[in-house]
Amino acid sequence: MSHLAYVELAKSYRLLNHGPTVLVSSADAGRRNVMAASWSMPLDFQPPKVAVVIDKSTYTRELVEASGCFALNVPCRALAQATLAAGNQSGRDIPDGGEDKIRALGLRTFAASQIGAPLIEGCVGWLECRVLPEPRNQQAYDLFIGEVVAAWADERVFANGHWLYDAGSDPALRTLHYVAGGAFFTTGDGLDVRSPL
């Protein structure tokens, strides 16, 4: 991966703070998968934690529970079609023969630094997470809490803890915000506000 830069853990929440849709990647015992998730958010600054909803029906759920790890990958506009497809098909439905959902979606991966889950190429932010087991949340709400153990960003659009999106930046690298039915918004104009108080 070119343009890959380390993100300080204390600032890793900023990769999610503006509410982008993410891809959840996971792996266990030679199996791996990816799914889309609109329902994720930061949960703490330091040590950084995240929350994400992973439905019981998903193949990802099985791999996350078995491995105790997941990665949140922040896709950009260039990956919008793959992101939608990742949300519409289960990794269980991919025919055998060396194929898996990641490959079927035309996605490529690179190795994470702290966990076994693969990271998805072409995304613009990555959070490597270890599950903090909370059985009641997982059972009652499909809610997983993870501690962020490493974070990365595409330095063309995120550096020194800040997103660099401006009028001159490549629209294909804007992050995505899913609504429903194939409809996304991309991250829009920046707005720098000074508090009146």
| 30 is a contact residue toward its own copies (CB under 8 A) | no
Query: What CA–CA distances, in Å, run from 37 to 25, 72, 99, 169?
Result: 10, 9, 22, 25
CA end-to-end distance (rounded Å), the chain:
44
CA distance 73 to 119: 7
Q: Mark residues 114-153: x for contact with its own copies by CB under 8 A, - for none.
A: --------------------x-xx---x-x-x--------
Residues in the chain: 197
Reduced to 3 states (helix: H, G, I; strand: E, B; else coil), residue 10 is: helix
Contact stretch for its own copies (CB under 8 A) within 61-69, 112-120, 123-131, 180-188 = 180-188
| 60 is a contact residue toward its own copies (CB under 8 A) | no
- Using CB under 8 A, list all residues that contact its own copies: 14, 17-21, 38-44, 49, 51, 53, 77, 80-81, 83-85, 88-89, 104-105, 134, 136-137, 141, 143, 145, 161-163, 165, 174, 176-180, 182-197
